Structure 1
Amino acid sequence: MNASASAQGKRPTVKDVAEIAGVSWATVSNVLHDHPNVRAATRARVEAAIEQLGYQPSSAGRELRGAPSRLLALAIPDIESPYFSHLAHAIISYAESLRYTVLINVTGGRINRERLAVRAYSERSVQGTIFSPLALELDEVEALRGGFPIVILGEHLREGRIDHVAIDNVTAAQELTDHLISTGRRRIAFMGYQPHSSAGTGDLRLQGYRQSLANAGIDLDDRFIIETDHYTHQEGEARSRQMIADGLDVDGIVCGNDLLAVGALRQFRLLGVRVPEDIALVGFDDTPDGRYCWPSLTTISPNKALIAKSAVDALIARIDDADRPPSQIVVPHSLIVRDSSATQIRDRVARGPSRVAETG
C-alpha cells in the first residue's frame, strides 16, 4: 500500500507489504509463516515494512496458515511424453513434501500458449513457475514475467539470466557416441537434428555426437545427420524407413530420444535389419519403452528426481529472495548400456556390408 492509500485509511494487505519491502507477496507469506529458507536481510526488510504499515494478518488468514494453500505452476510442452510425465510426477511429489501444490499447464510448444503460461500465472495467486519452453526466446520471457519467479528446464534458454536446470547434453551425447565407437562401430548416424526448431536440446546432442567422432578421427558424413520434425515413435519409424530406402550404410545410430530409437527399432525389425548385429541403436531419457522393448535400449538416464528437486528448490529460493543471482544447475546423468548396442559385430564385419546397404 502506498502513502496515499495509507492516508485513505485502507487496511494494509500482504501485497502492500511486498511493495514496500521490494519482494514478492509469496516472500511476505513465507516470512509470516516463519519459513526457514528466507534470507536474514530479506526477512528484515519484510518485518520493517510490516512495522511501517502496521500490517496485521486477518484471523481467517491465521486459521489457514497450516493449510496447503501455496501454489506453484509447471508449464511443459507435452504431458504424454514419458520424459515429461515422469518429470511432472517427480516435481509434484517433491513439492507436496514441502506443502506446495503444483498446477500443470501443457503448452504444446506453441508460442501463444507459452506466452500465456508466463503472463497469466504472474497475474494470479501462483507463487512461481517451472517452465520448459520450446518457442519463446529469453528476452520475451523476461519481458512477460516482469519480476515473477520462473525456473527454466532444459536447454532452450541458456544465457544465465534466469534460473536454469538441465543435464549436460553435449557430454551425454558424446558418451553415447564414444560407447558405440568402443564397440567397433564407425559409420554412426545421428537421428534428431531439428534445423527449424529454436529449442537447443537437439543441437547440443548433435554437438556432442560431432565431438566424439572428431576425437576418434572419424570423418563426418553429412548424410548421416538425420533431420526429424518431432521426437516421436512415428518419426523414428519414418526416418529409419527412409534410411533403408536411401541405402545409407550405417552401423550405429545415436537417437535424440528413446521414442525415436524405439520407433526405429520397430521399423528395422519389420525390414529384417538386425539390432545390434547390423545396426546398434542408442537413445536418451531412459523411458519404460526402452527398458522393456527387445532388444532393450542403451540410453542416457537423466536423474529426474534430482532435476525435480533442483527445480523446485531453485524456484522456492527465487520466491524467497528475488535479488539472488540466477542459479545454473547441471544435474548428473548416467549411461545405461543394454542389448541394443551389444558388442556383437565380429560376424557382421566378416559378412561384409551392413543389411542397410544390401537392402538399399
Structure 2
Amino acid sequence: MRSGRPGGKVRLEDVANLAGVSMKTVSNVVHDHPHVSAKMRERVQSAIDQLGYRPNLTARRLATGRTGMLALAIPEIDQPYFAEIVRYVAAEAAGRGYRVIVEQTLSEVEAERAIISDREEGLVDGVIFHPMRIDTMEIARLRPDTPLVLLGEVARPLTTDHVMIDNVAAARVGVELLIAQGRSRIGFLALVHGDITESTHLRLLGYQEALVAAGMQIDPQLVLESTGWTVEEVMQTLLDALAAGIRFDAIVCRDDLFAMAAMKALDRAGLSVPGDVAVLGWDDTRFARYSTPAISSVSPDKAAIARTALDLLEERMNGYDGVGRHRIAPHAVVERETTAPK
C-alpha cells in the first residue's frame, strides 16, 4: 500500500492521478454510477486498491444521501442465537453492498431508547433492532427518521416493520413430535425468575396447547422454574425437580443452552438421553449441531429472518412510508440424537 502524499490520508485526487482519469470519473466509480465502462471501472478500482483509498462517509452522504452503513442492535453479542443472527444479517447485507455496525444493548431500556431516538441518524442508512424492554407504544411515539425494522417478539407497533417466527406454533410442532414418539410426561425447562422476554411465555403457551390438543393432562409440576440463566442454575433446577420425585420422559427447553444444561443434569442423575428422557432444544445453534449427543432443536429460519429484514429495510430506505409490515419467518424442528421413539 502506498500513500498519495507523505504522512497524509489518501485522497480522491491521488486515485485520479494514479489512474490517469478525472476526479469526477473516480467519484462515479466510488458511487457505482451505471454509465462507467467496465474497462474504466477496473482501471480506477486498481488505483483504489493500490493506494488503499477509503471513501469519506460524510462526503459520500452529501453526494448520494447514503452512507452504505447499517446498524444491527441486539441484546447480547455472546448469546448463541444473536451471534448467529449477526452473521446472517452481515452476510445478507454484504451481498447487497452494505456494511453492518453491531450494537449491544444488554437489554437496558435506556440503551434501547437511544437506538430508537435517532442516535444513528446520519451515520447509517437503516437500523435492524431486536428490542427486549422498550414497549410497543414507546417505539410508536419515538418513531425515528432513520428507517427501522424490528426483530423478535417484544414490540409490534403499527408504524414499524417487524420480523419474527410464530413461537406458539413452533412450540406446538416440537411437542407434537415428542408425543408422536410416545412421550407422555413432557416437561418445560424453564421459566426464569425476572424473565423479561415474551418468547419464553409464547413457547410455554404452544407447549400447553399441544398437550391439550392431544388430550394429555396439564401438570404444573412439569413446568420447571429456574432462578437464573446460567447452565449451572438450569442444571440445579432440573436436579432439584428429580430429587423432589418429579418424573418426565421428555423435556422441551427454551433454548439450546438450556438443553445442554438438561443433558448434563440428566447424566449426573444417571438418566440416558434419549432412552430415559428425550431433550428438545430451541434456536438450532452450533451448540445443538456439535454437542454430544447432537441436540434436536426447534429451528427458526435465520437466513429468512435476515433476508426479510433487509428486504423491508431497503424498501423503507427507498421511500416506502406506509403502515408497518409484520412478517412471519419459517420454522422447523430439526431431529438429531436427543429425540427418538420411546
Q: For this structure pair, what is the TM-score category when the shorter chain's length is used for normalisation?
A: 0.7 to 0.9
The aligned runs of 1:1-360 (5 Å cut-off) are 61=60, 69-194=67-192, 196-228=194-226, 231-343=229-341, 345=342
Kindly tell me: are residues 143 and 33 of structure 1, through their superposed partners in 2, closer, same or farther at Cα, counting changes over 3 Å? Answer: farther
How far 1:101 moved relative to its partner? 1.5
Secondary structure, counterpart of 1:151 in structure 2 = strand
Equivalenced residue count is 288
TM-score by length of 2: 0.78
TM-score by length of 1: 0.74
| Higher mean C-alpha deviation, range 200-209 or range 315-324 | 315-324
| Higher mean C-alpha deviation, range 197-206 or range 153-162 | 153-162
Kindly tell me: are residues 63 and 145 of structure 1, through their superposed partners in 2, closer, same or farther at Cα, counting changes over 3 Å? Answer: closer
- Give, as a single letter, the amino acid of the residue that structure 2 aligns with 1:279: V
Kindly tell me: are residues 159 and 68 of structure 1, through their superposed partners in 2, closer, same or farther at Cα, counting changes over 3 Å? Answer: closer
Render the CA deviation track for 1:312-359: whole Å, top value 9, x for unaligned.
11111112224222111111111111121111x3xxxxxxxxxxxxxx
Matched with 1:39 is: none
Distance 1:160 1:299 in 2: 32
Q: Is the 8 A contact 2:61 2:67 kept in 1?
A: no
- Give, as a single letter, the amino acid of the residue that structure 1 aligns with 2:76: D
Secondary structure, counterpart of 1:274 in structure 2 = coil
Kindly tell me: are residues 125 and 62 of structure 1, through their superposed partners in 2, closer, same or farther at Cα, counting changes over 3 Å? Answer: closer
Render the CA deviation track for 1:28-80: whole Å, top value 9, x for unaligned.
xxxx9889xxxxxxxxxxxxxxxxxxxxxxxx659976x99322111101111
Render the CA deviation track for 1:253-292: whole Å, top value 9, x for unaligned.
1001111001111121122121112211101111121122
Q: Is the 8 A contact 2:118 2:146 kept in 1?
A: no
Matched with 1:351 is: none
Distance 1:255 1:123 in 2: 39
Kindly tell me: are residues 68 and 128 of structure 1, through their superposed partners in 2, closer, same or farther at Cα, counting changes over 3 Å? Answer: closer
More helix by share: 1
| Higher mean C-alpha deviation, range 111-120 or range 247-256 | 111-120
Secondary structure, counterpart of 2:284 in structure 1 = coil
Could you tell me which runs of 5 or more consecutive residues in structure 2 were left unpaired when the two chains were aligned.
Answer: 1-30, 35-58
Kindly tell me: are residues 132 and 232 of structure 1, through their superposed partners in 2, closer, same or farther at Cα, counting changes over 3 Å? Answer: farther
Distance 1:206 1:97 in 2: 37
Percent identity of equivalent pairs: 34
Kindly tell me: are residues 223 and 63 of structure 1, through their superposed partners in 2, closer, same or farther at Cα, counting changes over 3 Å? Answer: closer
Kindly tell me: are residues 100 and 333 of structure 1, through their superposed partners in 2, closer, same or farther at Cα, counting changes over 3 Å? Answer: same
Distance 1:295 1:62 in 2: 51
- Give, as a single letter, the amino acid of the residue that structure 2 aligns with 1:263: A
Distance 1:117 1:106 in 2: 10
Q: Is the 8 A contact 1:236 1:262 kept in 2?
A: no
Distance 1:230 1:71 in 2: 37
- Give, as a single letter, the amino acid of the residue that structure 1 aligns with 2:96: L
Render the CA deviation track for 1:123-153: whole Å, top value 9, x for unaligned.
4422221111111101122233434321111
Higher relative contact order (CA 8 A, sep 6+): 1
- Give, as a single letter, the amino acid of the residue that structure 2 aligns with 1:79: I
Secondary structure, counterpart of 1:177 in structure 2 = helix
Secondary structure, counterpart of 1:281 in structure 2 = strand
